[in-house]
């Protein structure tokens, strides 16, 4: 498809340049590496401190997409990591003990391990293991969970703001340079504009046909939004994506020749079989119009705005009140799915239950019950894994997908 070729090419150039920076850093000619987690990452702080962000999750994801994850998983299992451990962690551990060489880059060792989210306890263990193996400094940023009453408490914000000050001091010690607040503000302003672009892109998904697949295309589209947020070249890319999608929307062009079904996708896809999995839906004319996973931050969708003049306060507010992963508790996830399904006129919900990710998979069966029985949204649940190709059974998943869409079609014919 034309737009996919062009936008994917732009995306590849941008990510390729980043991977070259990683390799330079690994070869000792680049910036000190700040490892961090993707969800609500602090890339803007890394750029402002002349450090390079490294995302172990993204490295694992890239290995899976390139069908290269299995040897790293096996390496980790040889070392004693169990079959049941998170696939991302195992791929990363295998990578660590294979010279940090991937098909796309050499990964630099960490100068700092920033565990910017502690809600999934696997993250804590993961970064502690990396500390053990690398000997690098570690900083655990403790972000309070959103309160059940939804109230935004100022002392939570102050608590996170205080930790950011300590983190800045640590970065200054590592790099030997002071943080320039104005520069941080400039990166936040760029991030803000990228967020606005993303919000407008999602708005386009209300149209029929949707101009892009909000799950499968978004996985590619959002990589620079997620990991290279706050950089000038990423903003140029974001504007280009928006221009392209607006043009497609105006000409009523979608990712498939015919959009027959619209659905909301929950959880990450099986990366080792991304194309195969996508085709199971495409052959039914099914397009994802929303995704709980491939959305680089819901903050922008909900109207969050950075204040570049007060960058540390603004970052603290972003982390405290809008933390993507923290805000993904079951009740909110259900609300997000139902709201997206209504706003974008979805026919169904598709849940991918990820074997090795407890954070995403916990409660999915209950959520399915709720969506079907309480909301009346036909919901399909399929199981495999985001990293481990051994858990993907094409025939089994195809049977479930086909039966589901046959039933949806039947329901449509009889006017249900």
**Nearest approach, Cβ of residue 330 and ligand SF4 (Å):** 14
29 CB-near residues (< 8 Å, 6+ apart): none
Q: Which of residues 307-336 bind ligand SF4 (CB under 6 A)?
A: none
Q: Which is nearer to ligand SF4, 89 or 189 (CB)?
A: 89
Quick one: DSSP state of residue 290? E
Tell me if 357 contacts ligand SF4 by CB under 6 A. yes
Sign of CA dihedral 351, 356, 360, 364: positive
Q: Which is nearer to ligand SF4, 221 or 357 (CB)?
A: 357
Report cis status (omega within 30 of 0) of the bond before 383: no
Alpha carbon distance, N-terminus to C-terminus of the chain: 34
Tell me if 122 contacts ligand SF4 by CB under 6 A. yes
Q: Which is nearer to ligand SF4, 11 or 356 (CB)?
A: 356
**Nearest approach, Cβ of residue 132 and ligand SF4 (Å):** 17
Q: Which is nearer to ligand SF4, 15 or 37 (CB)?
A: 37
**Which residue of 359, 372, 375, 407 would you call a contact of ligand SF4, by CB under 6 A?**
359
Stretch that binds ligand SF4, among 65-73, 86-94, 309-317, 339-347 (CB under 6 A): 86-94
**Nearest approach, Cβ of residue 48 and ligand SF4 (Å):** 26
- Residue 191 CA to chain centroid, in angstroms? 16
How far, in Å, CA of 280 to CA of 83, rounded?
27
Stretch that binds ligand SF4, among 119-127, 259-267, 274-282, 370-378 (CB under 6 A): 119-127
Q: Which is nearer to ligand SF4, 47 or 88 (CB)?
A: 88
Residue with tokens 């983190």: 167
Binding mask 372-401 for ligand SF4 (x = CB under 6 A): ------------------------------
How far, in Å, CA of 378 to CA of 181, rounded?
49
For 366-379, b/e burial (b = at least 16 CB within 10 A) is ebbebbeeeeebbb
Q: Which is nearer to ligand SF4, 141 or 245 (CB)?
A: 141
Tell me if 86 contacts ligand SF4 by CB under 6 A. yes
Residue with tokens 């049941």: 84
Instruction: Centre a 10 Å sphere on the Cβ of residue 357 and count the other Cβ atoms it contains.
Output: 20
**Nearest approach, Cβ of residue 387 and ligand SF4 (Å):** 8
**Nearest approach, Cβ of residue 252 and ligand SF4 (Å):** 37
Q: Two tokens at 385? A: 């894994």
**Which residue of 104, 123, 237, 392 would you call a contact of ligand SF4, by CB under 6 A?**
123
**Nearest approach, Cβ of residue 67 and ligand SF4 (Å):** 19
**Which residue of 68, 120, 174, 407 would you call a contact of ligand SF4, by CB under 6 A?**
120
Size of the residue set binding ligand SF4 (CB under 6 A): 10
Tell me if 88 contacts ligand SF4 by CB under 6 A. yes
Stretch that binds ligand SF4, among 102-110, 120-128, 129-137, 201-209 (CB under 6 A): 120-128
Helix 181-204 crosses helix 216-227 at what angle (to 10 degrees)? 170
76 CB-near residues (< 8 Å, 6+ apart): 85, 89, 90, 91, 93, 94, 97
Q: Where are the alpha helices (DSSP H) in 33-180?
A: 43-48, 56-65, 69-78, 87-96, 121-134, 154-175
Write out the residues near ligand SF4 by the rule CB under 6 A. Answer: 86, 88-89, 120, 122-123, 357-360
């Amino acid at each position: 498809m034309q737009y996919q070729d062009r936008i994917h090419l732009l995306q590849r150039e941008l990510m390729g340049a980043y991977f070259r920076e990683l390799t330079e850093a690994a070869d000792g000619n680049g910036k000190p590496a700040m490892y961090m987690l993707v969800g609500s990452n602090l890339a803007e702080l890394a750029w402002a401190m002349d450090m390079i962000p490294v995302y172990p999750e993204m490295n694992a994801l890239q290995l899976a997409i390139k069908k290269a994850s299995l040897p790293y998983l096996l390496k980790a299992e040889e070392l004693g990591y169990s079959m049941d451990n998170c696939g991302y962690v195992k791929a990363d551990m295998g990578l660590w003990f294979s010279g940090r060489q991937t098909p796309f880059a050499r990964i630099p060792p960490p100068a700092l391990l920033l565990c910017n989210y502690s809600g999934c306890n696997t993250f804590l263990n993961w970064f502690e293991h990396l500390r053990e193996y690398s000997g690098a400094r570690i900083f655990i940023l403790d972000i309070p969970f959103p309160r059940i009453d939804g109230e935004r408490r100022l002392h939570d914000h102050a608590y996170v703001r205080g930790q950011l000050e300590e983190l800045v001091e640590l970065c200054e010690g590592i790099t030997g340079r002071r943080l320039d607040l104005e520069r941080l503000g400039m990166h936040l302003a760029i991030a803000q504009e990228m967020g606005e672009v993303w919000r407008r892109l999602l708005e386009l998904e209300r149209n029929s046909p949707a101009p892009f697949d909000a799950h499968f295309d978004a996985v590619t589209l959002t990589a620079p939004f997620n990991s290279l947020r706050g950089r000038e070249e990423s903003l140029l890319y974001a504007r280009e994506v928006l221009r392209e999608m607006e043009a497609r929307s105006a000409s009523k062009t979608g990712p498939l020749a015919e959009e027959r079904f619209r659905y909301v996708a929950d959880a990450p896809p099986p990366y080792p079989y991304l194309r195969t999995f996508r085709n199971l839906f495409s052959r039914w004319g099914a397009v994802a119009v929303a995704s709980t996973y491939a959305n680089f931050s819901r903050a922008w969708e909900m109207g969050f705005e950075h204040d570049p003049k007060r960058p540390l306060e603004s970052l603290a507010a972003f982390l405290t009140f809008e933390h993507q992963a923290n805000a993904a508790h079951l009740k909110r996830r259900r609300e997000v799915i139902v709201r997206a399904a209504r706003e974008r006129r979805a026919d169904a919900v598709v849940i991918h239950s990820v074997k090795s990710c407890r954070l995403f998979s916990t409660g999915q069966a209950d959520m399915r019950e709720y969506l079907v029985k309480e909301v009346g949204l036909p919901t399909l649940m399929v199981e495999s894994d985001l990293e481990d190709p051994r858990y993907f059974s094409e025939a089994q998943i195809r049977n479930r997908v086909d039966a589901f869409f046959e039933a949806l079609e039947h329901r449509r014919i009889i006017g249900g």
